[in-house]
């Protein structure tokens, strides 16, 4: 994750402002934009678009704008420093498509192994293709884009940079672990006001929700550390939130299949990186041998 570390760690004031902006915008989303007027307008937009523009897609842009105003506008952070690099978009898209296809094969194989017939998932017939794909787009350009930009591409590297700065130079893995845990913890805390004030969750429900945010934040944070590509993480995030299965399967089987594919992408990335590191010394050795022969 060295290449993703900021040149200069953000101040505590900027980190607090970024978290506050995200949290307040999320609260606004789930309170003001849930009122009858805005809600009906967003539903009308969804209907007009044939299901392609879901309300969550539009509402997520409110959170994204608030976050970017603070971090880019006032904090002077560059978009590239937030993982928004044009060269990473295509690898992210290819990874998502490959992971989605692998998931369909895993699900189909599991159904056939159980001696059952393959059936099209009812979402495609009940909602329609546009609505299903609209849900995927809403996750990719909405929830996943906002959350991964903020907590994986901004807070995680910033927390790691601060950990290194205060004395974890000799323990880089510890610094990464602290950053992973810290960014995942902030991920849950940013949603806490909405859960407590709007959703009226009780203490036990809040604890369960925070655990879910923490576990999801750790998984996606690890994906960012391994892949170093925001858009790959967004693709995996979409797969977790809206896998859009072709095959009709139980929720439990779908969840297991998604986790298997998620882990498979990370393992494959690590193996490719290891193979690339092995090729570098070999190439240098061949180049040195060629110079000696000349």
**pLDDT by residue, tens only, the chain of 294 residues:** 444 666 678 899 999 999 999 999 999 999 999 999 999 999 999 999 888 899 999 999 999 999 999 999 999 999 999 999 999 999 999 999 999 999 999 999 999 999 999 999 999 999 889 889 999 999 999 999 999 999 999 999 999 988 766 555 547 788 889 999 999 999 999 999 998 888 877 888 889 999 999 999 999 999 999 999 999 999 999 999 999 999 999 999 999 999 999 999 999 999 998 888 877 554 555 555 555 555
Give the whole-angstrom CA distance, residue 58 versus residue 65: 11
Alpha-carbon torsion, ordered 122, 126, 127, 132, to 10 deg = 20
**Alpha-carbon dihedral angle through residues 23, 158, 147, 25, given to the nearest 10 degrees:** 20
Domain-by-domain residue ranges, the chain? 82-287
Structure tokens at 265: 């992408």
Residues in the chain, how many?
294
C-beta separation of 34 from 26 below 8 A = no
Collapsing DSSP states into helix, strand and coil, what is residue 254?
helix
Distances (CA, A) of 125 to 31, 54, 121: 32, 18, 8
This prediction's pTM:
0.90
Helices 129-138 + 55-68 axis angle, to 10? 10
């Amino acid at each position: 994750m060295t290449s993703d570390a900021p040149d200069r760690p953000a101040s505590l004031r900027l980190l607090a402002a970024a978290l506050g902006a995200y949290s307040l915008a999320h609260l606004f989303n789930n309170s003001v934009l849930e009122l009858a007027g805005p809600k009906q307008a967003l539903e009308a937009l969804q209907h007009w678009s044939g299901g392609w523009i879901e309300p969550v897609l539009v509402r997520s842009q409110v959170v994204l704008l608030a976050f970017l105003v603070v971090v880019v506008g006032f904090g002077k952070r560059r978009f590239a420093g937030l993982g928004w690099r044009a060269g990473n978009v295509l690898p992210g898209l290819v990874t998502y498509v490959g992971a989605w296809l692998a998931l369909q094969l895993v699900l189909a194989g599991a159904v056939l192994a159980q001696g059952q017939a393959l059936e099209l998932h009812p979402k495609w017939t009940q909602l329609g293709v546009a609505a299903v794909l609209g849900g995927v787009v809403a996750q990719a350009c909405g929830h996943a884009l906002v959350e991964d930009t903020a907590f994986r591409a901004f807070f995680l590297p910033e927390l790691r940079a601060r950990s290194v700065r205060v004395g974890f130079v000799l323990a880089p893995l510890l610094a990464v672990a602290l950053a992973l845990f810290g960014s995942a913890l902030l991920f849950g805390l940013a949603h806490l006001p909405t859960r407590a004030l709007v959703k009226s969750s009780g203490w036990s429900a809040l604890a369960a929700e925070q655990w879910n945010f923490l576990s999801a934040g750790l998984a996606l944070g690890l994906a960012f550390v391994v892949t170093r590509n925001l858009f790959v993480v967004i693709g995996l995030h979409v797969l977790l939130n809206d896998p859009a299965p072709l095959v009709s399967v139980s929720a439990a089987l779908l969840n297991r299949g998604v986790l298997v594919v998620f882990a498979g992408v990370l393992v494959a990335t690590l193996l490719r990186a290891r193979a690339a590191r092995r090729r570098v010394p070999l190439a240098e050795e061949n180049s040195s041998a060629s110079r000696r022969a000349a």
